[in-house]
Amino acid sequence: MFHRLKKMIFGGCFCLTAFAFYTGTVQAEAAVQDPTSIETTEAAEEVTAEATTEAVKVTVKVEDKKTSLRKNMVSYAKKFLGNRYVYGGTSLTKGTDCSGFTMRIYQKFGYKIPRTSRTQASASKRISSKEMKQGDLIFYGSGKRVSHVAMYIGNGKVIHASNRKDGIKISKWNYRTPLKIGRFIK
């Protein structure tokens, strides 16, 4: 009897398949909750990729790193809900304006973005509202002049350092008409 454990990668998935060889029979077993075996009556001297497709594979799903990053950014930003708005400020705890808020959130996760809403808008890649994902930035203003920025948090909402009265709060993403939706996370 011969036992062999094979590690294989199919389409980015990590699969483990254990093979046991007997005279005239190939038996493949996968380590899952309900093990399943496959038998053939033909003799087999080596296992080919074709034979492994018949075996049950254990697949380990790996969460998309960018999705995880985006979720973590949103969770971090929400920690500052209710904190003060301060024009020209960049402190998430002592007071910040809209672009200081987005700059510091991005900085926490290793992204260096410009300081003002206007320069953040210029530096970001334009995307459509259908493409929006958590962490993308939405820019507002009048005419073509950007004067405010908010971060999309999902479910049609943004978080932003709004004004002196409200501080950092959550609003609908289109509470004002956006001038641009921008992306820094590629």
Q: Which of the residues are catalytic?
A: 98, 148, 160
What is the token pair recorded at 169? 């709060």
Q: Are 88 and 76 in contact, with CB atoms under 8 Å apart?
A: no
Cα(60)–Cα(146) distance, integer angstroms: 45
How far does CA 32 lie from the centroid of its chain?
28
